[in-house]
Amino acid sequence: MSETELRKRQAKFTKELHGDDIGRKAGLSALMSKNNSAQKEAVQKYLKHWDGKTDKDAEERRLEDYNEATHSYYNVVTDFYEYGWGSSFHFSRFYKGESFPASIARHEHYLAYKAGIQKDDLVLDVGCGVGGPAREIARFTGCNVIGLNNNDYQIAKAKYYAKKYNLSDQMDFVKGDFMHMDFEENTFDKVYAIEATCHAPKLEGVYSEIYKVLKPGGTFAVYEWVMTDNYDENNPEHRKIAYEIELGDGIPKMFHVDVAKTALKNCGFEVLVSEDLANNDDEIPWYYPLTGEWKYVQNLANLATFFRTSYLGRQFTTTMVTVMEKLGLAPEGSKEVTAALENAAVGLVAGGRSKLFTPMMLFVAKKPAEAETSPSTSKKTAE
């Protein structure tokens, strides 16, 4: 199917699934408004690739179908993410006494700072979600942001929030696959990506597209999801953790940190910073909201978030969604989505505790000032 046909089909399906009036409802009330048969189809489209198989053929199929698989994943999890986490879909470090939203915002500010984003810069947010980080970074720096996303539902939501918070003049959100970007070469002053490029079937593909659209001398900063140096692909215990993360988070294949670093260099980037922000002595680990350990609760105002993300809260949500599905209040397949998200939580905590995995491998990379983009090279690596 051609790219244009796929886009049309995905846009039509989004209308069927979520209706026309996207934005006003979020979380469980948005879930309750979804079309039943479309939801069932979306859940099947996502889960068909995660049938427990970890052999090369199964992996190959997931890599090939990355666009549809991820599109379907975010069609079914976005409402749960907003309900449980908020509108920035990423992790962060936690300082003692710091509230949950403050730490999420600080993580975004830090990336903007490392990327050197300035007032009036034109910035690309690769895999922008519903625009939480774009809104924060635009306010923080005064830059202009284009958010790129292959999920129509999230784009509609991001546009709705930008308007609601009077930020439409500073940002726009466009549909597109980050493996094949439509922007002109040398367009953006800075590019950032937060916990999104791990959905790529090949990191060289997305990084080379970023290189292409970045101006010479421009900076790309990314929080990458990778398996660390402690990870051994041939160790079944390790592979199980990686698979749980892939399944629960809609990722075709978790790559090793060296794969990411090498990919950046192969695309022509000069890697200025390469640091695992999770590899530290922080008293409060990044994955604490998913562990349900009360000792880490920093702020009573965040109790609702803490409860929803904790093991107990997740069981509560699963039970509630199961009952809602039985009563016809939630669309069919919602229960399966909460089960997949449970895998995500378990895999992420196991990966975090064992330091086999990090969601915050910070890379800051520069496109050399004298760089000439050769379309043939960037095309070749994108394939």
Ligand X SMILES: C[S@@+](CC[C@H](N)C(=O)[O-])C[C@H]1O[C@@H](n2cnc3c(N)ncnc32)[C@H](O)[C@@H]1O
> Which residues of the shown chain bind ligand LGRKZMXR in the complex (CB under 6 A)?
80-81, 83-85, 89-91, 195, 198, 225, 249, 308-309, 314, 317, 338, 341, 344-345
The stretch among 26-34, 126-134, 160-168, 209-217 that binds ligand X (CB under 6 A) is: 126-134
Judged by beta carbon, residue 137 or residue 143, the one nearer ligand LGRKZMXR is: 137
CA-to-CA distance for 54 and 57, rounded, in angstroms?
Answer: 8
Comparison of 143 and 192: residue with beta carbon closer to ligand LGRKZMXR: 192
Interface with ligand X includes 41 (CB under 6 A)? no
Work out the widest C-alpha separation in the chain, in whole angstroms: 63
CB of 196 to ligand X, least distance (A): 3
208 touches ligand X by CB under 6 A:
no
| Contact indicator for 248, 341 with CB cutoff of 8 Å | yes
Residue 194 as a binder of ligand X (CB under 6 A): the answer is yes
Based on CB atoms, which residue is closest to ligand X, 87 or 371? 87
Q: Is 201 in the site for ligand X (CB under 6 A)?
A: no
* In contact, 255 and 226? CB cutoff 8 Å: yes
Among 362, 369, 367, residue whose Cα is nearest residue 113: 362
For residue 289, state whether it binds ligand X (rule: CB under 6 A).
no
Binder of ligand X out of 14, 151, 334, 338 (CB under 6 A): 151
The beta-carbon contacts of 348-354 under 8 Å, at least 24 apart in sequence, are 348/245, 348/248, 348/249, 348/287, 348/290, 349/287, 349/290, 349/291, 350/241, 350/244, 351/227, 351/241, 351/242, 351/245, 352/278, 352/285, 352/286, 352/287, 353/285, 353/287, 354/230, 354/241
Q: Provide, rounded to whole angstroms, the least separation between the CB of residue 376 and ligand LGRKZMXR.
A: 31
Handedness of CA 345, 100, 29, 323 (dihedral sign): positive
Q: Of ligand X, ligand LGRKZMXR, none, which one does residue 363 interact with (CB within 5 to 8 Å by kind)?
A: none
Q: How far is Cα 329 from Cα 133, in angstroms, rounded to an integer? A: 32
DSSP 8-state secondary structure symbol assigned to residue 22 = -
CB under 6 A: which stretch of 164-172, 175-183, 209-217, 265-273 binds ligand X? 175-183
Confirm if 132 and 156 have CB atoms less than 8 A apart: no
Least distance between ligand X and beta carbon 111 (Å): 10
Nearer to ligand LGRKZMXR, 89 or 231 (CB): 89
**Given the rule CB under 6 A, which residues bind ligand X?**
67, 70, 74, 88-90, 127-129, 132-133, 148-151, 154, 177-179, 194-196, 199
